[in-house]
Amino acid sequence: MTVAEHFALEAQMLQPLPVEAFDSARSMQCRVDSKSRVCVRQSFYSVPIRYAGRRMQVRLGAEAVEVLDGSRAVAVHPRAAHKHMQILVLDHYLEILARKPGALPNATALARARASGAFSEVHDRFWTTARERLGDREGTNALIEVLLAQRQLPAAAVIAGMTAAMSVHSVDPAVVAIEARKHLETDAVIIPIGEHLARFDRPAPSLDRYDSLLEAQ
């Protein structure tokens, strides 16, 4: 008998697979360093800056690394393919960069964001324009406010908002947010009701009876 024929016989005696997915991730505790990173298998993954110095629960899967605060995931990264890699997310550092905007141009997280495409050419153009008009510090702060807006709005909408704001010669983060929300607005869908509701049509009511009340006076 072939292997396939043996399996066909044995398959009839196998139990069905469980409904719940089998969790193969390895759980561990890791300390967040001063650069707001956890070290997992000799690779570094960023977490939001507010967790610096804390011990965090980390789930190491075959394809992803998940960092938890209690039961809530605060960072999810693709698993590094090699040792000593840094997987950093620019959003995790925005609060500290808002206090120290001069650190943004040389930030490793910014270089990673550019390489991944998360920090687009439109971001760079907005940043350059903002610094030309407001100065380096205030222009960088304007960019950081726009990046913070991406926590509530889709990145594509914020990019559209920056483009629209620059088209009217504005680098105001509030204008970017307004234009981004406009980008999300869609016209109401018109739902055809067909002709089957025609049977509910009624003639307009007559007010002739009320004329008799006037005559009575």
Report pLDDT digits (tens) over 62-105: 999 999 999 999 999 999 999 999 999 999 999 999 999 999 99
CATH of domain 26-87: 2.40.50
Contact between 159 and 120 (Cβ < 8 Å): yes
Cα–Cα dist 35/52, whole Å: 7
Separation of CA 125 from chain center: 22
Q: With a cut of 90, say whether residue 190 has pLDDT above it.
A: no
pLDDT at 54 over 80: yes
pLDDT surpasses 90 at 164: yes
State what percent of residues in the chain have pLDDT above 90. Answer: 78
Tally of residues, the chain: 217
User: Where do the domains of the chain lie?
Assistant: 26-87, 91-184
Rg (CA), the chain: 30
* Contact predicate 129/137, CB 8 Å: no
- What pLDDT, in 10s, does the model give residues 25-34? 999 999 999 9
pLDDT band (50, 70, 90) for residue 198: low
